[in-house]
Structure 1
Amino acid sequence: MNTPLHAYRASLLYFTNDPAFDEHATRWHSDGLLLVQDGKIRAAGDYAELSASLPPEAVTEDLRGKILCPGFIDTHVHYPQTDIIGSPAPGLLPWLDNYTFPAERRFQQPEHAAEVADFFLAELLRNGTTSAAVYCTVHPQSVDAFFAASHARNLRMVAGKCLMDRHAPDFLRDTAESGVRESEALIGRWHNKGRQHYAITVRFAPTSTHEQMKLAGELAAQYPDTYIQTHVAENTDEVKWVKELYPDARSYLDVYDGYGLMRQRALYAHCIWLDDQDRARMAATQSAATLCPTSNLFLGSGLFDFARADAARLPLSVATDVGGGTSFSMLQTMNELYKVARMGGTYLPAQRMFYLATLGGARALQLEGTIGSFTPGCDADFIVLDPQATPLLARRSATTENLEEQLFALAILGDDRAVAATYSAGVRVHQR
């Protein structure tokens, strides 16, 4: 491509590991320089060290007072639920019946799917999210619409068609055979096309028959570099239902394991009501937990157990889970994540929350070295955070005494207004 070298002067934040297990994981350059060329990170470091070697043709942007960090990675979100965010319900299952399923019916219309996909992606970028693992509906056209919109913007996204052949309205059911056949056709059209990746998407165990689960596992084995995404152990009523439907399985998670659906690139949303054997199995297979604090609180599902997850070294990432989740903002999601942890007796430092929203997400997606960091060679997906975005945030930022306090203020007080700009593959795709 040979585009000009771009140099951004600002404070830089990124991670090389999980700060919970590595005290040297945080990389912070208070006066830093980020070098970007041809959509990739070329270097990141102190301004004093890198500026002297800048070529005269470099395009320099002075963003002092701002913080650059890798774009947020949302590892579990439903784009067809954009229009039902903030809908009232006494729990998960009635929320699905009364709001989710009727909304998803409209995605059989390609024009509607395309319009929602456009809005959804713009909302992600406005909130600093540059990559996401996205659920579409049962309709293949909903997947085509989403990937077409993402590909046109050159975003790195993971998405897939829901597989659901029972316990759903007739208008949202496929069959075991048609669901997998349509999924395979979508893999052929979209997987690894540009920056798009396909996820074999079992809605959740209750909405798939044994035959569909079996075929999904076979498809996952046939295409090992695709993703797998589903829900597990979100709600006690759901767990009880799964036990009735799959009485021979040791646990809810064991249902998926029995069909070959646990491996690297497998994303399991919620993971609240797991036991230690489940957690050990997730760690052994490198299946990742995607934590959804805003939806867990909104639907009254429960509190994620950080202490037991960390004891098992369970791979963790964080997600908004819109529309059960109540905000597209990963900063607001960190706010709720912190509270969920505190209610369970765990203290989450801000640096770990920012790790979970960046490199943690990249690791869950097995994309470390591609996104989620400022390591040379990574995609130049990054955001510009403004600690003075609101009067209150500015006032609090003025009195912070160290990096942890500043990041904590952003996580607790920040929202979409704190995202001054979003860049994808080196191109500015949002400007506040």
Structure 2
Amino acid sequence: MIFRGSIAHFPKVSTSPKDDIVYLHDGAIVVENGKITAIDDYKQIQQTFPSMPLTDYSGKLIVPGFIDSHTHFPQTEMIASYGEQLLAWLAEYTFPTELKFADKSYSEKMAGHFIQQLVRNGTTTALAFSTVHAHACNALFSAAAKRNMAMITGKVCMDRHCPEDLQDTPELAYQESKALIEKWHGKGRSLYAITPRFAPTSSDEQLQALGKLASEYPDVFIQTHLSENKDEIAWVSSLFPHCSNYLGVYQHYGLVRKRAVFGHCIHLQDEEWQALSSAGATVAFCPSSNLFLGSGLFDKQTADKYQVQQALASDVGAGTSFNLLRTYGEAYKVSQLKGQAIDPLQGLYMMTMGAAAALELDKDIGNLNPNTFADFVVLEPHFNSLSTLRINDTSDCADTLFALSIMGDERCINQTYIAGIAQLGTNKTVEEPVNAVA
């Protein structure tokens, strides 16, 4: 199948997205067996593949599928819950909601809702926290696998400072996580992430067990939280007096490395930035969540100074939208307050190629290069009368993306493709792909 439209992507890892974006005003990609086999100007593609069927998205913008590098699957239903800062918000909203996931059928139902929200908003890959329940993690992997969707998730590990019914033990965290790795990691498009919620909810013994697991499986991901809130940081200092700083806790237990993704990182010390850089770890920038919980403003300038890998993330449910374009819009506002404006091409990079490269997945996703999975999004610049007025024939790619990021929502997602299969119906409902991998 040929897909025609304006096309924008980053074919290589970049430190200057403005210079390295490839934009085809009238372009086309060729998709065969779930992967992209060619990309070029439409006239050239038409000459090379004269008899191939065409799906025409002229007037629309095709970009790689978005990668959400930090989100919470069980918090889908509690998005937009009022007030509180981090620690009180966890106690009042998060833990009570996650208790519901003890019910296996409930977990399966909510996994379906979560996947629906991702694809409606153009997200084709997510690095997602599950709950402490192994069956909830199984439910999310299964729901994603039905769509042949790249999903990175893991069972949350907590053995203290949370409701008793959400606690596991060091042994159980190790055993259940290991079993899930063996069942899912590298099977189809599923990938596993060792997932201590954050340092305060894991004992030294549990973190040691998870560090052991990480050493046994060096290619799995690690996801957790780091320096989101000042009260949280003080709490970590009191719980781990033998560690010099918050990141030092994770370093002590062997949890800082490539494919380790740390959410937030708002209040880091210079030595922590340097350690993240040296380890090749990644920071997930969660602007809407940081604003919503009053946690603080991410310092992108310092992250850039230390050459720390960065990716955008919704952090639903403290994050206020599944839409990563809107998330970039919030990142732009944060960066304006810091005097470090993030331009729209850099924003697109941070949710596509930049995220894929940070996760060491850029051979498969994050761009529209031949031999990558055909995960892409069709953006509709004219989704209402105001966007039609604002975005016109003189708008370039960057201006269109910026306007959509400030004004847009799921209405600007015309279609989401995962491995070449359309995920949205004409009325924007989510349809079961007819040939998804079970």
Q: Same fold (TM over 0.5)?
A: yes
Aligned to 1:351: 345
Aligned to 2:286: 292
Distance 2:265 2:27 in 1: 38
Aligned to 1:253: 247
Distance 2:249 2:16 in 1: 31
- Deviation track 1:242-267 (CA, whole Å, cap 9, x = no partner) reads 01111121110111011110111111
Give the letter for the 1:12 counterpart. Answer: I
Aligned to 1:85: 79
Aligned to 2:114: 120
Give the letter for the 1:8 counterpart. Answer: F
Aligned to 2:148: 154
Distance 1:68 1:401, change over 3 A: closer
Structure 1 range deviating more: 83-92 or 234-243 = 83-92
State yes or no: 1:207 paired with 2:201. yes
Aligned to 1:34: 29
**Does the 8 Å CA contact 2:145/2:188 hold for their aligned counterparts?**
yes
TM-score by length of 1: 0.97
State yes or no: 1:131 paired with 2:131. no
Distance 1:330 1:390 in 2: 19
Give the letter for the 2:375 counterpart. Answer: D
Distance 2:61 2:282 in 1: 28
Deviation at 1:399, TM superposition (A): 6.5
Distance 1:72 1:149 in 2: 18
SS in 1 for 2:80: coil
SS in 2 for 1:398: coil
- Deviation track 1:111-146 (CA, whole Å, cap 9, x = no partner) reads 000000001101100000000001110010111111
SS in 1 for 2:38: strand
Distance 2:356 2:18 in 1: 20
Give the letter for the 2:390 counterpart. Answer: R
Structure 1 range deviating more: 402-411 or 134-143 = 402-411
Q: How does 1:124-273 map to 2 (within 5 A)?
A: 124-273=118-267
**Does the 8 Å CA contact 1:19/1:352 hold for their aligned counterparts?**
no
Deviation at 1:21, TM superposition (A): 3.0
Distance 1:83 1:9 in 2: 36
SS in 1 for 2:322: coil
TM-score by length of 2: 0.95
Distance 1:195 1:124 in 2: 16
Deviation at 1:16, TM superposition (A): 3.1
**Does the 8 Å CA contact 1:320/1:328 hold for their aligned counterparts?**
yes
Give the letter for the 1:278 counterpart. Answer: E
Aligned to 1:10: 5
Deviation at 1:89, TM superposition (A): 2.7
Distance 1:305 1:26 in 2: 24
State yes or no: 1:311 paired with 2:291. no
**Does the 8 Å CA contact 1:18/1:355 hold for their aligned counterparts?**
no
SS in 2 for 1:154: coil
State yes or no: 1:408 paired with 2:363. no
1:111 pairs with one of 105, 111, 114: 105
**Does the 8 Å CA contact 1:369/1:378 hold for their aligned counterparts?**
yes
Distance 2:310 2:385 in 1: 33
Distance 1:272 1:311 in 2: 15
SS in 1 for 2:191: strand
Unaligned runs of 5+ in 1: 1-5
Distance 1:220 1:261 in 2: 7
1:99 pairs with one of 86, 93, 96: 93
SS in 1 for 2:424: strand
Structure 1 range deviating more: 249-258 or 14-23 = 14-23
Give the letter for the 1:205 counterpart. Answer: A
Give the letter for the 1:411 counterpart. Answer: S
Distance 2:37 2:11 in 1: 16
SS in 2 for 1:380: coil
Deviation at 1:17, TM superposition (A): 4.5
**Does the 8 Å CA contact 1:19/1:351 hold for their aligned counterparts?**
no
**Does the 8 Å CA contact 2:18/2:346 hold for their aligned counterparts?**
no
SS in 1 for 2:29: strand
- Deviation track 1:388-429 (CA, whole Å, cap 9, x = no partner) reads 112111111016543221221111111110000000001111
**Does the 8 Å CA contact 1:32/1:46 hold for their aligned counterparts?**
yes
**Identity of paired residues, percent?**
43
Distance 2:234 2:191 in 1: 33
SS in 1 for 2:387: helix
Aligned to 2:389: 395
Aligned to 1:369: 363
**Does the 8 Å CA contact 2:328/2:347 hold for their aligned counterparts?**
yes
4+ runs deviating over 6 angstroms: none
Deviation at 1:51, TM superposition (A): 1.8
Give the CA RMSD over aligned residues. 1.2
- Deviation track 1:11-35 (CA, whole Å, cap 9, x = no partner) reads 0010135665355310100000111
Distance 2:337 2:196 in 1: 31
SS in 1 for 2:373: coil
Deviation at 1:153, TM superposition (A): 1.5
**Does the 8 Å CA contact 1:234/1:301 hold for their aligned counterparts?**
yes
Unaligned runs of 5+ in 2: 429-438
Tell me the matched-pair count. Answer: 426
Give the letter for the 1:228 counterpart. Answer: I
